[in-house]
Homo-oligomer: A and B are copies of this chain.
Amino acid sequence: MSAEAVRALFNPRSIALVGATDKSGWSLATFDNLRNNGFPGPVHLVNPRTEIVHGERAHPSLSAIPEKVDLAYVMVPTHALLDVLREGAELGIRSYVVLTAGFGETGAEGRRLEREVAEFAREHGLILLGPNGNGYINAAAGITPYGLPIPAPLVRGPIGVVLQSGALASAVLNFAQARNVGISLLTAMGNETVLSVTDVIDYLVDDPATKVIALFLEQVRHPAEFARVARRAAQAGKPIVALKIGSSEIASHTAQAHTGALVGDDAVVDAAFRQLGVIRVRSLEDLLITAGLLAEIGKLPGRRIGVVTPSGGASEIIADRAAEEGLELPEYAPETVARLKEIVPEFATVQNPLDVTGYVVVDRTLLGRALEVVAEDPGIDAVLLLADLPRVPPPNPELSIAAFRENARRIRESPRPVAVLGNVCADVSEFGRMIQEKSGFPYVAGGIEHGMTALGAAARWSEAELSHVDDPEPLGVRGSGIWTEHQAAALLAANGIPVVPSELAADADAAVAAAEQFGYPVVLKAVADGLGHKSDIGGVRLGLSGPEDVRRAHEEVCATLRESGASGIGALVQPQRGGGVELLVGVVRDPSWGLTMAIGLGGVWVEVLRDSALRLLPVDHAQVRQALGELRGAALLQGARGSTPADLDTVADVVVRIGRLAQALGDGLESLEVNPLLVDGDRVEALDALVTWTR
């Protein structure tokens, strides 16, 4: 979709409502919306059977309109859509919003029709939002071809909203209005037959009216395209906040071995979002409040927050929530404490979080003066000010406005970003909205609970750095079926991944010779063509401490293999490693997002706890270090229980190499799993590996 075409769709100078009728609430709402929200251009009504619609003269067809039409808003019956598009294309109308439903969402016949629409649009270069969508609200430009009532006043501001659910649009508009969150553009996507979510994100990245992008997603239809636009948004410094449903879906089990169970659809979405700098939220409230706060405060220099409140109880709730969000509330510097002591009442305790006390009722300047001092503390990165907008006019509103204006100035002139949070998630009243407009007081996040979620997200987003890793050169290696340890280990070793020494022994004598060379104890593992799960058939023998052990083990293992009719029979002999911590490093191909790496602690950790961290490939050193830190059993790598602390840089190097090898193996790779990867201090060694190919 060309950027110019999307821009034209959202910025028409004239609109035709095709299928307009007094009998439809949608038609009436769309007409009213265009009339009441400042659309300056002509709105033409098209109805072949009625002369007067919505009190105005209607045209019998698009062709009958005497002027140029930029956008057609289509509400005709399902089967009439194509005719409208044909007529419009003939007339040179390029942009369409299609409210009409009855397409892919209804079944096979609808899907067929929808494909026809898509095909026609592609052939004739038409851009189309919908079908089965209510349209859009370009609040910044006052252009509102949108089929449901828009709650008044429509608050204009910096948030671009893209929704894959039409019904939720009303809830979003209600809440945005309630919390005074200003919107630049809101789009209800419908079936995404032509215009997709990613096209709109692309537009919003370039839209000067938009600072933050808020998404409600039922699915990510085009992951690669989504990744591209998310990276563009990050580069433009515009945060994306997303409510993506599906966290309750059962994880898919598509791949071999353990990794498959670790990589659920939703877990991969989580990993992808984090790597793309997309903030994932859990509720509509968090979606809008987080977007609103980010638009106000932008990038934070760090996580150290100075808190200023008029309430002890609220301070304590904030302290609890800050800990949950990973925000720090450092002690104030001595000079800050000294200055604050001069300001607050004698009985107040000067600390962070600061409660200036209920004396704010008597002294209107108290909170603001304390804010001014805290904002200059050298040990903090940002200020959290707890302040509600008034709900009802006090006896003297002018005094109230003046006080807010003074604090607005303090916030504007603060050397550090100031996030303002209210106590609870209640509406900004008409009076509150007026105060905010007249005083220039900034956005107030709705309540401590959601405001702290937003502040935590802002801090994490500010720290996120997109990796810039080049993809490796393809290796040209191709395989089929399963490569078991013997082949897989050779592949690893050839690509710079340390592997435990190993000898393939065809007979018992060779096995003993290998064991003598390694020194006892040794491990002996069955080898046969396509044998993936060798321990299931008793094919792994540990702790062999002499030649007789080795000989007997080799004979038993080979006998078992022969009985099962296997080919390519033999056994691997390896020195037995003791101590250390076992990791699992697996790469699988996710059907949507591509190669995905799971890093986990082996054994009981992965089997019982599913203790793992996911990353999309490519991964860089820093990302692997971070992933290792996310493991619940991370302490084990740091030397808990008397083990040698792992050399995490060496571990990360090896893991990055495993990822690059997986990428270099190309499209034929289904999965590559190193399990276990033994870590003992700075010794990092693959003890076993498995490669599966797509064919």
Contacts and interface: CB of A to CB of B under 8 A. Distances in A.
A520 interface: no
Interface in A25-76: 25-26
B608 A358 contact: no
B448 A347 contact: no
B284 A106 contact: no
Given A164-B313, A247-B320, 4 more contacts: A152-B392, A163-B313, A171-B423, A284-B424
Contacts of A167: 310-314, 355, 358
A636 interface: yes
14 contacts: A148-B361, A152-B392, A165-B312, A171-B423, A245-B316, A245-B320, A246-B316, A246-B320, A248-B323, A282-B449, A284-B423, A426-B427, A604-B633, A608-B641
A107 B635 CA distance: 43
B426 A175 contact: yes
Contacts of A640: 604, 607-608
A594 interface: no
Interface string A436-458: 00000000001111000000000
A555 interface: no
Interface residues of A, number: 75
A145 B70 CA distance: 64
A283 interface: yes
B604 A285 contact: no
B604 A168 contact: no
B101 A347 contact: yes
A25 B632 contact: no
Copies of this chain present in the complex amount to 2
Q: Which interface residue of A102, A171, A246, A641 has the most chain B CB atoms within 10 A?
A: A171
Interface of A: 25-26, 101-102, 105-107, 148, 151-152, 163-168, 170-172, 174-175, 178-179, 216, 218, 243, 245-248, 282-286, 310-314, 316-317, 319-320, 322-324, 346-347, 355, 358, 361-362, 388, 391-392, 423-427, 446-449, 604, 607-609, 632-633, 635-636, 640-641
A110 to B, nearest CB: 8
Contact of A106 (B102, B166, B316, B347): B347
B165 A313 contact: yes
